Amino acid sequence: MKKHKSIITIVLTLLSGRTAINRIREAREDGDPWELLDAALNVAVLVTGIIVIVRRLRRGETEV
């Protein structure tokens, strides 16, 4: 059951990533450098989060 929670966490994180990428596109179109920076930092946080989750799953840790 805990592995299912980890998979759900990864899926929700990936969906958040899709939203962050859309925000980057909108910020580029608007030419707003602060919005672009904010969206890029959000993508970076999501990428590192996925890396941590995957690493924990590979180590056999069931609690994410």
Question: Quick check: helix, strand or coil at residue 32?
Answer: coil
Q: Which amino acid is at 61?
A: E
Q: What is the pTM of this model?
A: 0.69
Given a contact cutoff of 8 angstroms between Cβ atoms, the answer to whether 2 and 56 are in contact is no
- Token pair listed for 33: 């450098």
How far apart, in whole angstroms, are the C-alpha atoms of residue 64 and residue 62?
Answer: 6
User: Rounded CA gap, 44 and 23, in Å?
Assistant: 13
Please, are residues 61 and 3 in contact by the beta-carbon 8 Å criterion? no
**pLDDT tens for the 64 residues of the chain, in order:** 567 777 788 888 888 888 888 989 999 999 999 999 998 899 899 889 888 888 888 887 655 5
